[in-house]
Amino acid sequence: MVRDMAEVQAKKTEREDRDIPVMKDFTSPEELYRELIKSVVRYHPSTDISMIEKAYQTALSFHEGQVRKSGEPYIIHPLCVAIILADLELDKESIVAGLLHDVVEDTPMTTEDVARAFSDEVALLVDGVTKLGQLSYSADKVDEQAENLRKMFLAMAKDIRVILIKLADRLHNMRTLKYMRPEKQKEKARETMDIYAPIAQRLGIAKVKVELDDLALKYLEPEVYYDLVAQIAEKRSSREQYVQSIVAEVKQHMDNAKIEADVKGRVKHFFSIYKKMVNQDKTLDQIYDLFAVRILVKSVKDCYAALGVIHEMYKPIPGRFKDYIAMPKPNMYQALHTTLIGPKGQPFEIQIRTYEMHRTAEYGIAA
């Protein structure tokens, strides 16, 4: 009964926390296609959608009669992959390749057919995704071998868009993993945690990386995952009130300092919390910085000005300040991180970055 309630709460929490839109099960292909076009036009109003329409009709025709483990028409999968790519604001060719990414492997259509019907560029993307799908991974590989496979994965893709399509493919497969056999679920989850999530991190695509990690944890450590869901849900209301009170206070001080800022709070993702518990050998009740406040401003100058305001408001914890603006991470991530003692004596983290830095943090190399 507790597990059932946790599963319901997990679905609710996943919907609330996701940065990338997720389509409900068994949405019709037509509805998904309309959603895809709406998303593409939103970020690229002048896009000629005729090639996307042609790719959709081609995939619909070649995948006709094929169904997924869920029982839904197979076309749902490439449509959802294309929607994820559109959310990452990729170009038209990537969207088209996302719609066609399984036709060479699963239908009579060849790479040459794709080139003739669309373009050499699209054919190369589809061929690259097909070849990456042929890499095998064994869950008993040691860390060094997993790292070698990650390097091979990156080296094989002549075009970085191939990897982005493959990440979108894996993300949708992880979202629908419940329809697979339990042993297959664990195999795919381990591969996701060892290969795909680290690659997403290496490319700086936080919004994909955190969801892959959370979904992998859900299938690798289900008891831990659902216990976390239940415990966080139990305290979510009071914690959110606390976070929002800090957000309001920070926003007021930013306004007083004439710093134009967007201030938001969030509970950290399940996998992030789980790692803290394991690394620090603590229970959830002993992990205090479960939430973070993010401040978005217009300029680097405003980042440091906002930091000064924050350090006047709350007591900073020594040794917990990181300047990733002066010293960016290898994946291009930039921000100021500081951990502070909140109004109730509870530590919390604040991240300060410009809007441009935020876009890079969320979309990484796709930006």
Residue 105 annotated in active site: yes
For the record, the structure tokens of 126 come out as 């589809």
What does residue 354 show for φ and ψ, rounded to 5 degrees? -80, 165
Element (H, E) at 279: helix 270-280
What does residue 292 show for φ and ψ, rounded to 5 degrees? -135, 150
The whole-angstrom separation of Cα 348 and Cα 298 is 23
CB-count exposure of residue 275 (10 Å: 0-12, 13-18, 19+): middle
Residue 339's CB: how many other CB atoms inside 10 A? 19
Contact (CB, 8 A) for 311 and 260? no
30, 105, 112, 255: the catalytic one is 105
Residue 127 annotated in active site: no
Q: Cα–chain-centroid distance for residue 213?
A: 9
The whole-angstrom separation of Cα 137 and Cα 46 is 41
DSSP state of 286: G
Entry field: residues in the chain: 367
Three-class SS state of 291: strand
Contact (CB, 8 A) for 331 and 201? yes
19, 30, 64, 106: the catalytic one is 106
- Helices and strands in the chain, H and E counts: 17, 6
Residues 6+ apart with CB under 8 A from 214: 14, 269, 270, 271
The whole-angstrom separation of Cα 127 and Cα 55 is 15
Catalytic residues: 105-106
